[in-house]
Chains A and B, each alone.
Chain A
Amino acid sequence: MKEAILEMLDELRPEFDFTDSDDFVMDGLLDSFDIISLISMIEENYDVKIDGLDIVPENFSSVEAIEALIGKSKGEAT
């Protein structure tokens, strides 16, 4: 899933190298509108609904955080 997440991030902001960041939001790679676009892509690609209360920067700070969010949205234990 990590590769698929990186592909989505690359499609969203191709000018950035997401493998070279510890925190996508703090490092300025994703802003709040990128997060909205990413949520739309995740919901479409994984057929999940992300809870509105989970739409906070820390859940989009890294590939691992995004993977955990997708897992949570699919009802998987994290």
Chain B
Amino acid sequence: MITTFKGKKISAMLGILPETIGYFDDEAENYSFPVKQTMRLKKVMGYNQHRLAKDTTTVSDLAVYGLKHMLEQHWIEKEEIGAVVTVTLCPDHFVPHISNIVQAKCDIGMDALCFDIAQGCCGFLVGLMQSFMLLEHMKDKKVVLINGDVLSHKVSRKDRNDFPLIGDGCSITVIENGGDDEIYYEMHTDGKRGEALMIPAGAFRKPSTPETAVMTDQGDGNFRSLDHMHMDGSGVFNFVQLEVPPLLEGALKRTGKTTDDFDWFLFHQPNRFMLQKLAEKAGLPIEKLPMNLVENYGNMSGACIPMTSIMNCKEDLISKNNKCCLCAFGSGLAWGVMFMNIGKLDHCEMIVSDL
């Protein structure tokens, strides 16, 4: 899909972190690899520390914590909310949906449209696209876009390939009608390669059972069960190197832009190594491409782009208008890009919850 939008803007961004921090140095002994070998990955991959939600914490808990903060601080009034859209891989339940739970707990009016979208790494771009389309029908109402995941609950702590990079967290973005800047949007999907990122059991195809919970050595020294998420690291890496540089090149060509035209390249945050190689391959200016979410908070799936933006560009996003290239790639497999001006935000903040 390739399209453009006009007259839509982001007016506020909030990041909500769990308070618990997991340290890679402490976790290295959990893995069945020599500690020295594991520690070598620290610098290359950007492993350092990540945020872990409590076992009982769900995405709706983080979202409600954040939205109540926004309402109490009058970032937005309940009456202004036309829709609550949640993008996540971690539903509280199959039914009801997180957006409905958030609506109830924050006492938002019954005229607000509430729905969830199941998306991972590209969740922010997909959420923005849906929000822009909703705003065509909402006049002066605003969309509250929630991107959140607590994937550490679904990753084995004895899996060195996956656990060190995962982080839990949630972002809330307020989107509204306004301005007249054009937004370029492009998104691609290849379901044939979808099993490169997968949680095999736990839904209807293969419900969780005592058998699916059995931890086994995967043959590479990592232990996990069918209830756990697994990423084919090599497959995903090659997919990103193969698909994303031409995606960016094509988008630049279509819009008549060059990499010099952008203030920030705000990308999904898989790990430092993958981003470094992507920047080299696509010829991107690394000083404008933050790569530090994994080492500070972890890869937060669909919340990566807003969390990276808040962490690295908060002052710029408040003080001036910024030409941004947003790019995401991962589960699905899906990959996409958005050129959008973001700035003069009314509010932009990262908060730590007790969740």
Query: Footprint of B on A, CB under 8 Å?
Result: 12-13, 15, 28, 31-34, 36-37, 39-40, 49, 51-53, 55-57
Contacts and interface: CB of A to CB of B under 8 A. Distances in A.
Given A31-B220, A32-B233, A36-B273, A52 B40 contact: no
A32 B234 contact: yes
Given A33-B161, A52-B280, A57 B234 contact: yes
A30 to B, nearest CB: 11
A12 B37 contact: yes
B233 A33 contact: yes
| A13, A15, A55, A57: residue with the most chain B Cβ atoms closer than 10 Å | A55
Contacts of B161: 32-33
A8 to B, nearest CB: 11
Interface string B275-319: 001101100000000000000000000000000000000000000
B242 interface: yes
B44 A36 contact: yes
Contacts of A32: 161, 233-234, 237
* Chain B interface helix/strand/loop/mixed: helix
A57 B240 CA distance: 16
A15 B278 CA distance: 32
Interface of B: 34, 37, 40-41, 43-45, 160-161, 219-221, 233-234, 237-238, 240-242, 273, 277-278, 280-281
Nearest to B219: A28
A55 B277 contact: yes
B34 to A, nearest CB: 8
A53 B241 contact: yes
Contacts of B240: 52
Interface residues of chain A: helix, strand, loop or mixed (majority): helix
Nearest to A56: B238
B28 to A, nearest CB: 13
A28 B218 CA distance: 12
A37 B40 contact: yes
Contact of A53 (B221, B242, B273): B242
A36 B45 contact: yes
Given A31-B221, A55-B241, A36 B41 contact: yes
15 contacts: A28-B220, A31-B221, A33-B160, A33-B161, A36-B41, A36-B273, A49-B280, A52-B237, A52-B241, A52-B278, A53-B241, A55-B241, A55-B277, A56-B238, A57-B234
Given A53-B242, A55-B237, A55-B238, A33 B277 contact: no
A33 to B, nearest CB: 6
A15 B221 CA distance: 14
Contacts of A51: 280-281
Contacts of A52: 237, 240-241, 277-278, 280-281
B158 to A, nearest CB: 15
A66 B170 CA distance: 42
A28 B34 CA distance: 15
A46 to B, nearest CB: 15
